[in-house]
């Protein structure tokens, strides 16, 4: 496993002058991703927070070549980059598609599914702040039960789509979940994906201080609570074999998990939400655990 010392020693890929909000974990996530993958990377980024915080054209705080592309098109643009590299005989450059949950779970789903079915050579990371953040925090298909957004003012009703499992059903070489509060786990997963050919998918939980309404200094703590309460399950799949990651293995037993209320108490998006919706969130979490365990090697 990568050490904290090594992460600190790696060159800084996010330059001074970016426009991310205080406590933004999508910028942190991309910082780790580019540290993990090195400097031989070409990115595809659709309309999302990252395309805003990278700074106004012609300047960019991301120290990598970026193709900024339409909202639905991160995967199809990355497919094009990947095909061009292949045509040039370039086997060394990594193609990284980096998109929000709205751009992945909703409007971009068809293009990701197409690229995955073709097994196009790229790493696709969905960084999920569980809403359309940069346009004012509207509900996305990844918004969890009970969360209040601009378009769900009394709390989101219904269950989100699990894009990691949707991608898993595409029979991919690599699928994983990660969280910006655990950079070592995320970096190891990215490096593993980088060694493989074909379409690799990572779903990165990225807490958003503005959208989730918590104090900006709590970004890391909130992400850790997502894992410690069992709300966000860390797992990976190599050639279809799902395995729980070390950090989540300890929470297989529900008695070991912190109560969901610990995770929600500092998040303004859950303030005043009905008990029924919070219970529905707990039901969803329990359902996800049963599903992952039944699909994984942990019986």
Ligand X SMILES: Cc1ncc(C[n+]2csc(CCOP(=O)(O)OP(=O)(O)O)c2C)c(N)n1
Residues near ligand X, by CB under 6 A: 26, 47-49, 71, 100-103, 129, 131-135, 140
Q: How far is the CB of 226 from ligand X (least distance, A)?
A: 17
Nearer to ligand X, 2 or 166 (CB): 166
Q: How far is the CB of 118 from ligand X (least distance, A)?
A: 22
Nearer to ligand X, 214 or 251 (CB): 214
State the residue number with the nearest CB to ligand X.
100
Q: How far is the CB of 21 from ligand X (least distance, A)?
A: 11
Nearer to ligand X, 51 or 121 (CB): 51
Q: What is the DSSP track for the chain?
A: ---HHHHHHS---B-TT--PPTT-HHHHHHHHHHHHH-S-EEEEEESSHHHHHT-STT--SBSS-EEEE-TT-HHHHHHHHHHHHHHTT--SPEEEEEEEHIIIIITTHHHHHHHHHTT-SEEEEEEE-SSBTTTT-B--TTPPTT--BTTBTT---SPPP-HHHHHHTT--SEEEEEETT-HHHHHHHHHHHHTS-SEEEEEEE---HHHHT--GGGHHHHHHHHHHTTSS--EEEETTEEEE-HHHHTTSSGGGSPPHHHHHTT-GGGTT--HHHHHHHHHHHHHHHHHHHHHBS--
Q: How far is the CB of 6 from ligand X (least distance, A)?
A: 28
Nearer to ligand X, 64 or 137 (CB): 137
Q: How far is the CB of 131 from ligand X (least distance, A)?
A: 6
Nearer to ligand X, 25 or 245 (CB): 25
């Amino acid at each position: 496993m990568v050490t904290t010392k090594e992460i600190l020693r790696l060159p800084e890929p996010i330059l001074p002058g970016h426009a991310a909000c205080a406590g933004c974990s999508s910028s942190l996530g991309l910082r780790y991703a580019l540290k993990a993958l090195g400097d031989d990377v070409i990115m595809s980024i659709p309309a999302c927070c990252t395309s805003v915080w990278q700074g106004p054209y012609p300047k960019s705080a991301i120290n990598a070549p970026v193709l900024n592309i339409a909202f639905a098109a991160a995967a199809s643009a990355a497919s094009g980059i990947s095909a061009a590299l292949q045509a040039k005989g370039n086997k060394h450059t990594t193609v990284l598609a980096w998109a929000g949950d709205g751009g992945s779970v909703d409007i971009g789903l068809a293009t990701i599914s197409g690229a995955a079915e073709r097994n196009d050579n790229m790493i696709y990371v969905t960084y999920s702040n569980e809403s359309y953040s940069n346009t004012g925090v509207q509900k996305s298909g990844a918004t969890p039960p009970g969360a209040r957004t601009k378009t769900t003012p009394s709390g989101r009703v219904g269950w989100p789509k699990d894009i990691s499992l949707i991608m898993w059903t595409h029979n991919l070489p690599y699928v994983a979940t990660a969280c910006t509060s655990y950079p070592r786990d995320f970096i190891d997963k990215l490096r593993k994906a980088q060694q493989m050919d074909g379409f690799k998918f990572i779903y990165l939980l990225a807490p958003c201080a503005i959208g989730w309404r918590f104090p900006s200094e709590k970004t890391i703590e909130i992400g850790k609570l997502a894992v410690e309460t069992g709300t966000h399950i860390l797992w990976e799949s190599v050639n279809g074999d799902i395995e729980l990651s070390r950090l989540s293995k300890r929470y297989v037993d529900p008695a070991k998990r912190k109560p969901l209320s610990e995770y929600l108490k500092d998040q303004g998006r859950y303030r005043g939400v009905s008990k029924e919706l919070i219970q529905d969130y707990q039901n969803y979490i329990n359902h996800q655990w049963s599903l992952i365990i039944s699909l994984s090697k942990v019986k």
